């Protein structure tokens, strides 16, 4: 089994597959009122993020961390995670909110088991003599099953750990209504 003698190839392949499976996120559009493209309105985002920790990214790219983010009138309010002080900014300063779900990240990281099964599975499909066929009977098959099990376990555990740390991220992108600078002209003025 020449492919398994190159430990680096196996490690790099499994790590790549695991990272691809856990690097997921979701993006939602937040607007003041419901439109066909809106995922959340301001009032719905208040309910969605009630009691949750979030990163608040402002329009100047400043990133702040807080709990209990709320939109009230034309302001955004939250409790700072370090100081427990209530912060308030004009709502138009809020560009993006990011919430994390570590449990979902761990579940997605378990996809590393799939990655751990793919590489040896493909190898044994392409090389049936290495998986226990031929004159050697079942001795090689036991070794092959053990290798697949070990690699799948390492992929699952590694993926779960990285998924827990990285977490599934929910991005809430704000689209603020902009007032027209010019008043709308009526038909008499156009003629």
- Which of these, 18, 1, 8, 16, lies nearest to 152 by C-alpha position? 18
- Tabulate helix, strand, coil % of the chain (nearest 5): 50, 25, 25
Q: Which residue is it, tokens 């790549």? A: 16
DSSP state of 39: S
Please indicate, yes or no, whether the overall pTM of this predicted structure exceeds 0.85.
no
Q: 55 near 98, Cβ under 8 Å?
A: yes
Give residue 95's region: left, alpha or beta (phi > 0; psi -120 to 50): alpha
Other CB atoms within 10 A of residue 137 CB? 10
Per-residue pLDDT for the chain (191 aa), expressed as one digit of tens each?
Answer: 454 455 555 666 666 555 555 557 788 999 988 888 889 999 999 999 998 999 999 999 999 999 999 999 889 999 999 999 999 999 999 999 999 988 888 887 777 677 666 666 666 666 666 555 444 455 566 666 677 777 777 777 877 887 788 788 899 999 876 654 444 343 333 34
């Amino acid at each position: 089994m020449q492919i398994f003698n190159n430990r680096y190839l196996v490690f790099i392949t499994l790590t790549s597959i695991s990272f691809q499976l856990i690097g997921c996120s979701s993006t939602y559009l937040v607007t003041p009122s419901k439109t066909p493209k809106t995922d959340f309105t301001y009032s719905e985002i208040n309910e969605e993020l009630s009691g949750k920790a979030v990163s608040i990214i402002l329009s100047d790219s400043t990133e702040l961390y807080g709990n209990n983010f709320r939109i009230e009138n034309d302001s955004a309010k939250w409790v700072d995670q370090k100081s427990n002080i209530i912060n308030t900014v004009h709502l138009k300063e809020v560009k993006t909110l990011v919430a994390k779900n570590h449990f979902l990240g761990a579940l997605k990281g378990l996809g590393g088991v799939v990655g751990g099964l793919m590489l040896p599975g493909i190898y044994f499909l392409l090389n049936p003599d290495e998986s226990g066929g031929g004159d050697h009977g079942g001795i090689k098959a036991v070794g092959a099953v053990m290798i697949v099990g070990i690699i799948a376990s390492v992929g699952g555990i590694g993926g779960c750990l990285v998924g827990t740390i990285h977490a599934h991220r929910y991005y809430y992108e704000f689209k603020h209504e902009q007032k027209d600078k010019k008043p709308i002209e009526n038909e008499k003025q156009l003629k």
